[in-house]
């Protein structure tokens, strides 16, 4: 992970771009990683990613 130090401590580097969520088609303009061009069809917005994580964690137990 790429982190940058500033006056307040460390801040994660964000990548700017124009992508679409593969689940809801919402615009994505900022990501905490540089997306792999071969996997752009798998990108998810924050809301869809959170929903998927909540569902997968809940189904384990």
Encode pLDDT of 10-39 as tens digits: 788 999 999 999 999 999 999 999 999 999
* Domain containing residue 25: 3-59
Is the pLDDT at 56 greater than 60? The verdict is yes
pLDDT of residue 10: 77
Q: What is the dihedral of CA 11, 12, 17, 22, to 10 degrees?
A: -130
Rounded CA gap, 43 and 34, in Å? 11
Rounded CA gap, 19 and 34, in Å? 12
Beta carbons of 23 and 31 less than 8 angstroms apart: no
Domains in the chain: how many in total? 1
The pTM score is 0.68
């Amino acid at each position: 992970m790429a982190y940058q130090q500033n006056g307040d401590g460390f801040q994660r580097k964000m990548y700017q771009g124009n992508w679409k969520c593969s689940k809801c088609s919402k615009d994505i303009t900022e990501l905490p990683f540089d997306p792999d061009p071969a996997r752009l069809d798998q990108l998810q917005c924050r809301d869809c990613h959170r929903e998927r994580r909540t569902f997968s964690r809940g189904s384990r137990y």
